[in-house]
Structure 1
Amino acid sequence: MRGRGMRGRGMRAADGAPAEGVPMMLRTRLALGIGSIVTLMLVPVMLSLASMRQLRTDTERIRDVEFQAAVVLGKVRTAVQELDQAKEYLSILPEEATRQQVTEKLAAVRSLVDSLGALNGLAGISRVHASLQLIADESARTYQLAAAGRGALADSVLDKTISPAIDDIERILAFSEQSLQDRTRERVNEIALESVRSRNTSLRLLAAAALLAVLMGLWLTQSVSRPIDELDAGMRAVAEGDFGHPLQLAPQRRDEFGRLAASYNSMATQLRELDRLKAEFISVASHELKTPINVVMGYLQLLQDNVYGELNPRQLEIVSTLTAQSKSLARLVRQLLDVSRFEAGGGKVEPRTFPLPAFLGDLERTFRVLAIQRNVGFTVTRSIDLPADVRWDPERINEVLGNLLSNAFKFTPSGGRVDLEVERDGELVRMRVRDTGAGIPATELAYVFEKFYQASNQTTGIKGTGLGLAIAKGIVTAHGGNIGVESTVGVGTTFTLHLPITSAATRLMPFHQPEESTVA
């Protein structure tokens, strides 16, 4: 079958049948999903790092340009002040040392002004250079006038030319300082705004990445968990005997789940065919056995009726034993036929209205003799609010209660008790069959209603077929009721039935249907 399945898939591919989506194996899907999630989480991190690097660059630029310009500007102002002080000595001490000192101060100012201009920290640098040149020329003239003894004229040059030039330089420096402060403040504000924008952008990107990662994770979870849940539901159904459970998973999927679905369908088909063959074999075998058994029982009845002559006591004993065994065999065949009908869903119940008190009275009289023979106490308790009439299949319900009571007597030792309690429960009739027998282990309670299952409590040496409780459950369920069991080893067992007062069911459900039975 596997070979046929492989060839079938090969033929579908050759015929160009459409595949479901792009082929992607489960491991590939998981790898892509995890890789996408990692990438999504790395994007905002990388952008944040890039933004931080830009902020660092801007900060370093302020440090290297604006801050350095402010330092140089301060040095220029100090040098200009020193120059202003040195110029006064040109007319007071017209010596070579005084002239040399003024020249050095001018050179220091020019050097600092050039450095400040390189940092773009001085507005009107050409005016500063022009003023410095004027100061240099007039300082030389002032020195010459003072050295020639013309002090009044030298003072006039200082007051009217050199001092205004120095004042002009100081005004330019003050303006440049204010401009530098404004520019630095603006750059700092820009960096602060950029920092806020970067932070907000990073948070939005992180939130978007987290959302996309969650969506990607949900997609991965759904793409994996949904097929797994479907396969789990299918396997549970098969384990419960429902071999026709439809799997909502296409075997044409070109991934691991598609192969699993194809394997599941193949397995379910084979199990369904085996189940059908088993039921068919049981049905055919039971029918084939039924006729010869009836013939044997007929002849045994004729022998008991002395149709073929008088039988001696020994012969009567043998005929009675053969009759009892034939009846036991006939009962087994009847149960096998019921099982085969249940499997096919073809068993029928025929509800009709009948008096419940009379039904219970007949049942009590039937088992009273067995109770006396086995020295077991037996009572049937009826509540006063029981309905006068019920609509059930009396033969089928008699079979259920008869099976439960027979089991109770079989597993209850001499001196024990078996009780049948019948009471009304709303629109239902509740019946309890209680015994003080060996009890059923708790680990086996869930299986007692399965076909051919025999509990390990059969210490009496009397073995059954394991079909009675399965048939009883089918009959009770067909009436719209339910059956449950409670048991304690060494104390006893209680079977509880709930049947609607009026049942409209006409067909027994197959055993593999998920019928409920309560197990306490």
Structure 2
Amino acid sequence: MNRASIHLKDPRALYTTICDIAVTSSGATMAWVGLRDKDLIVPVAWSESARRYVEGLEIRVPEAGGEQGGGPTALAFVRGAPYICNDYLADDCTKPWRAHADAFGVKSAAAFPIFRRGQAVGALNLYFDQAGAFDDEQVALIEQMVEDLCFALENLDREEGRICAERLAQERQLQLSSIVETALDAIITVNARFEVVVFNRAAAQMFGVAPEDAIGQPLDRFVPVEYRAGHHQRMVGFAAKGEVSRFMGRPRELQGQRANGEVFPMEASISRSGEGDGLLMTVTARDVTQLRQAERAQLASAAAEAANSAKTQFLSQISHELRTPLNAVLGFAQLMRADTRDPLAPRHQAQIDLVLQAGEHLRTLIDEMLDVSRIESGRMAIDARDFDLCALLRSVLSISQPQASRYKVRLEEAFSPACRFQLHTDPDRLRQVLLNLVSNAIKYNRPGGWVRLELVRDEAFIHILVRDNGLGMTEQQKAQLFQPFNRLGRENTGVEGTGIGLVLVQQLVTLMGGDLAVDSEPDRGTCVRVALPATDIRPPGYPPGQRPTGAPASSSHVAHPVGTVLYIEDNPTNATIVEQVLTRWPEIRLVVAPDGASGLERARDLQPDVILLDMQLPDMAGLDVLRRLKADPATRNLVVIALSASAVTEDVATAREVGAVDYWTKPIDFERFLEGMRKVLPS
């Protein structure tokens, strides 16, 4: 049996072999092995002589804890001990099978339990044709045979377990190899001598070295020369300590070196397994070149944004500080020019005109610098809405007419008088763009020249053309056209200008989703084309008496305004200018409050027709005054107009949101100021 257990690897073959040996060595007439299958013991192997005996044989296992109805096989299985039956025909437990056994000449029988993995799984059954065949020696011999069988089964189980474990290990190794090979991070394993034993595909791509060339190489090969000593020292320390060190056990930024010598930043962590010569250390590394570049770009962007914000804030503050004294300069200059009771001499009148021109030039410079700064910092908002484009073009020509008359340039309207194209964009910003372009066309023209506004529409765009027959530009000048503060060599011609107007125009057109193109020839003139996305429909007719956006208002006012105006202003100069402007309307009463608290009190007491509110007061912000006015039932319905030296878009929008009906900026333009006051005062 021992020899069979060495060579046979199949349990059923072992069962058949023990049956044959039992018959041969013990003189038994039949032998068979049955294994438990649910509540039955089923024959699975037999000697040739027992083939017919086991056909249809059914042996039921007694219920747990009982032996009732069990034959020798079942009792040996349940008891876990041999059951010897030396007189088969007389034994009480054989009664159900006596007739079947007698047909095969059975006189004695025995059943020996078979154990596997520590529990009974079946039984070996032997039959003799004579009674009393099982003496002690015979039983001991058969027990030894069964013990050898059980030992062989245990060996098979151990071998099966080993094979299964090896198969699982191989599968895990294949899975691990697949994971390592397909990992996005570089994975490098080194042995106790710091030689590479694993070098995955990501590592090959990161370092530019084929895996077969990396295996067996020292890890230091992939570290720049200047860092190798320190890196090697840390690796030695990590290998010796047997624990995760502070530096090497978590991701840390290191420097790697590719095969071409390029040094790059990487994050790496290391783990270990095994001890002594079997020590393995695995490095997981990631190229963070793009990440660091993105971080630097983000920091640069944040720094640029902060710088832009600081610049805008600085320019806004400077704008306010410049507008306040400029309001006095332009305000008193306008008062002197408009004084009919004590008129200026012609020579002084010309000088005042120069002061006003210079002041307007300075105001334009302040406004344009602030607008450019807003656009660059992303704080310029576009308020898109539908409006009548042709009406806006006519208003641009109307506003530009005084300048054209001064330069002796003719303005022409080259589109149909019935034209009423609808456009959806910001009309205020478009008017700003066109006023700038028309102003340039007038200034850089010649006496007797012309400036023409044209309108062309195609399927996708409306093209507004500002064409003139003025000085024109060379190719070199056109190449420098949108450089800030570059006046293209005309700064010494006596023509006023800032050099940033066209820069602002280009940025505004882009912000509105349009395109700007310039065509020019020296001494033949210039054509600037503004292309904006078209709107498919034309505007409906306006209700009677309603003006389209951008159309100039009628100036036919017969009666002078009347009423009370409260001006909340701490600057006496600004208050004096407004007081002097309003003296032309004798039935207007002006009351000045020097701070917010007194302004709130006077508003409740006077119930003025209009409140002019400065936005920077000594005791509180103008917005706080406005909020209190709108929160008080006694003043919430009063007309409030913000009048401030701050032209910041956010300030304008916030004031209107809080409740101001309009927002006017200083320096005050008398004509626009008076026109605005006419609209809000009773007549």
Give TM-score scaled by structure 1 length: 0.44
Give TM-score scaled by structure 2 length: 0.34
Higher strand share: 2
**Which is higher, the Rg of structure 1 or of structure 2?**
1
Using CA pairs under 8 Å that are at least 6 residues apart, name the structure with larger relative contact order, 1 or 2.
1
